[in-house]
Amino acid sequence: MARLLTTSIFALALALPASAGAQAGAAHRSHAHAASHAKLSGRQAGLEQRARRGPVALATAVAETYWGAVPCGGQITVLANQPVPATLEPGSDAWVTFESSLGQNDLEAPASTYTRCTIAIAHWQWPTQQVMESDWNMFCLTVTHEVGHLLGHKHTLTPGAVMAPVFINESNVPEICRATKTLGTLSASRARAH
């Protein structure tokens, strides 16, 4: 989100003519700025609409915006309050399951073959919407990470990466999660007030 805002500000700076001879190009750049602003406003409106449905829907929309893609043909089930399966580490806070051309949960398969996609969120970590909202940065990061898996991304050891296998602090949190923190809290508060 901040990256888009910075891009819009940069586009505005380009739209200001540096000389009288720049007037012809300024009209084109001004139009580009307007289009960029409209795109930003459209994304914001879409995120606000998803926020009204709660933190799970908002985090999923933020993750899709972060990656610039919607996995599994848009057919993702997100299940909150799930017990951690015995096959996973007891401290797992979320996980994905899917079918693929190479079998169940095989990240070696092309992501375009993934079907029956599910993101499960552990009950022990985020048992309520209120806890999800109060721990928004880490919740949003985790959902973004899991959507990354459904797009075929594997774990990486790159410091600060969304696809790191373990998060020990907020250094991996994408800027778009930080930028939408108040959106989730405010929208959820408005929904409770009605």
Q: Is residue 24 domain-shared with residue 99, that is, in the same domain?
A: no
Which of 33, 51, 69 is the C-terminal boundary of a domain?
51
Greatest extent of the chain over all pairs of C-alpha atoms, in Å: 70
pLDDT for the residue numbered 127: 96
Residues 62, 137 share a domain: yes
Q: Is the domain of 77 the same as that of 120?
A: yes
Same-domain pairing of 40 and 64: no
- Return the pLDDT at 185: 54
User: In this structure, are residues 180 and 169 in contact, taking their beta carbons and an 8 Å threshold?
Assistant: no
Residue 186 vs residues 50, 139, 143, 175: alpha-carbon distances, Å: 12, 16, 20, 18
Instruction: Provide the CATH number for the domain around residue 127.
Output: 3.40.390
Strands 94-99 and 115-122: antiparallel
DSSP of 49-104, one letter per residue? HHHTT-HHHHHHHHHHHHHTS-GGGG-EEEEEEEPPPTTS-TT--EEEEEE-TTST
CB-count exposure of residue 66 (10 Å: 0-12, 13-18, 19+):
buried
Please give the pLDDT value at position 12. 28
Q: Which domain holds residue 40?
A: 1-51
The per-residue pLDDT for 21 is 36
What is the predicted pLDDT for the residue at 15? 30
Tokens of 166: 């373990």
Domain identity same for 17 and 113? no
- On whether both 159 and 75 belong to a single domain, the answer is yes
- 89/185 same-domain check: yes
| Residue 30, pLDDT score | 41
Q: How many domains does the chain have?
A: 2
> Are residues 39 and 61 located together in one domain of the fold?
no
**pTM listed for this prediction:** 0.72
Compute the CA torsion angle 156, 129, 76, 143 (nearest 10 deg).
Answer: -10
113 and 164 part of one domain = yes
The residue out of 30, 51, 72 marking a domain boundary is: 51
Q: Buried b / exposed e across 121-153, counting CB within 10 Å, b at 16+?
A: bbeebbeebeebbeebbbbbbbbbbbbbbbbbb
Nearest C-alpha neighbor of 90 from the set 124, 118, 121, 120: 124
The CA R_g of the chain, rounded to the nearest whole Å, is: 19
**Residue 53, pLDDT score:** 77
> In the prediction, which pLDDT does 69 show?
97
Beta bridge pairs of residue 150: none
The segments of the chain whose pLDDT lies below 50 read 1-40, 186-188, 190-194
Give the tens place of pLDDT for each residue, 137-150. Answer: 999 999 999 999 99
Same-domain status, 62 and 39:
no
One domain, residues 86 and 125: yes
* 103 and 31 share one domain: no
